[in-house]
Structure 1
Amino acid sequence: MAKQTDVQRKWSAERRLAARRRGLRYHGGPYIVDDVYICSFSSWIGRTDRRTGLSSISWEVKVKPRAIDEVYWAAVVPGKTPPRVPVHRHLSGLSASPLSIARGSMEVSDDDPADWEGVFDEFERARLTFIEETPTLAAFADLVVDPARNRSVHDLRRQICTLAAAGRVDDALTLLAAAIAGGNRGSYFWEAGEFEYLDAYLRGPAAYVDFREALRPTHTMTYLEESRPRISITISRNRDRNGFLFSLSRLDGTERWAIILDADGGVPNTDVAQLRYIQCAGSAERMTVEVCLPGASVPGFVAIQSVVGRHVSVAQPIDQTISLPSVEVTVAAHEVFDAAAAAELFDAFFLADDLPPGFALRPLGGFTADGERIDFPQQGWSRSKDLS
């Protein structure tokens, strides 16, 4: 008996030859295009039944209007270079979901050819019957817009794009609003879910421009852990409003020990005169918070990094120890924060790139115009672990 991989190659070659004889085009599988629809064919081979020696080949016919992918590409993947052959984008993963219109299977002995001619007869019969019964985009919209067909993200994506392509934009927006309100944003692409892209796109050019602008990163958040490299993610103040309490509450001072929030627009800042960040180190119960802000508050420097503290009327000694991996730092009592208090500072900085009023700053070091960092003398302070 031939190896299964050899059998699969043989049947796949037979399928391609049969498709070519029918005049079908091929991209991952046979397909055919007309003025309205693209109809595709897929098949897969099951394991050989040891008792009968037969393998099951299952197949499926799918169809969708080409116009629905025009909506999808314009909304969800704007600016992406389309495939070299434009029609191939309808068959890619970045497209609206087709509708299954026929399925079948056949059992084949490893030594026999598969009856692809018979299967393609079924393919053509299913395609022509569907087109006869559903000849237009409007008819397709009436067919697929059915709550009973809303079982998956794929179904909902197809309905929304079909309604939009058929000019029923208000109906599409109603579906989108219900999905997003229920927490269903569709598959996640780049900075947002596909349903969010579609919703903004269908609301008009101005809404879409505003939505795209809101996706632009405004900050970089970096997590420092002792046993792993730094992890950095870009976030946007226009969208990411969940707050920082959860992240700060996970600090333990040994493994997870520091977080940096940099107002850099999502791109590492090479101009020290524009440095603006807030960072903390320690545990959720006891941590120090520092901020770096541009400005010449100390002569000769273009940005100053400071320890943040609450305002106090009487100077306090720097005698509070905060343990970090391999080092301890000391700060004053009014400069010790827990996760909840630090989260208020991070939240405020995220929205305004500055601290709220009511806090004192004790300078730790500064950056000169040529990029050099110089530490200021500090009682009890160690900079052997520099967060920034």
Structure 2
Amino acid sequence: MGSPHTVGIVGLGVISGQYLETLRTVADVRITAVADLDQARARAVADTIDGCRALTTDELVAADDVETVLNLTIPAAHAEVALAAIAHGTAVFGEKPLAATFAEARAMTDAAAAASVPLGGAPDTVLGTGVQTARAAIDGGAVGRPVSAAATWVSGGHESWHPNPDFYYRAGGGPLLDMGPYYLTSLVHLLGPVVAVSGAASRSRDHRVIGDGPRAGESVPVEVDTHLAGILHHDSGALSTVTMSFDGGTTAAAPIEVHGTGGTLLVPDPNRFDGDVRRRTSDGWETLPPSAGYVGAGRGIGLVDFVRGERRAGADLAMHVLEIMTLLQTSAESGMRETLTTTVERPTPVPLTEPRDWRG
């Protein structure tokens, strides 16, 4: 791939600002084009980046000066944009989940493989010092043999703060597909791939009311389950329990706990890149110093890692996590344990890497 590596961004919603903040600081990445359904917004963003053009999506995925498409559209559009880029031989790195459905994701990975086009996807928060330090501790025997883990995320729903929360309550949304990728990707990094799942789900109401912004007071239909509890059976023999909910206020539970034969590890919020990793043994609690991961990273570090050939946030991992989520939903409907068809090798660990080194 070229240097600087050229990137075109499709979708300039709320999350794009965080990606831009990171990518603008990386020496060997250059943003050459942006596209959005709102052409005025695309032009406004392009005007803030030297050498960047505002294009339509069709123009951007076919552009000669775009080596990788950063796909930040809503989940329902992930597959359409990715397949269009792949058809032009352009690499794709997308926001989570990889696609709105497992079938769409499979079409993406098959097309990418057939065209020998690199494909990857978020979350990249797992590459920060929080999850990577926890992984290094577990791999180093800090809790003995890992036996189980618990992952918990609870909120009242994104309609309280997001001005356009509709897609969170449509196919491809819900707490599991929205927040689950952070937690499940972390669990795969920490404990390895999953072989089977069991799930249960519920929906507390059929509509949500937007609480902020120009649409405040507007009712949004709910088409997906808004609370899910699940059990993950890891290939290693460890069991993880997962709770993802839009039907609570908050929780005092640790984001992720890992229990082993020699102690317990508290893992910080996997929706962040940093945070304290705490270890409990018979002698009490201790905070572990950062020992692995990209220091000071933000959203976009996964793309940087991807275009440099590391690809720790590759499509195989994103596909495995999407199947975990899909089968948790299937199990919730069937009442049966479901077996995965995919597996993945744990990505290589990230050594402790200071900002001056990953920014280039």
TM-score between the two structures when normalised by the length of structure 2? 0.22
TM-score between the two structures when normalised by the length of structure 1? 0.21
* Relative contact order higher in (CA < 8 Å, ≥ 6 apart): 2
Per residue, is there more strand in 1 or in 2? 1
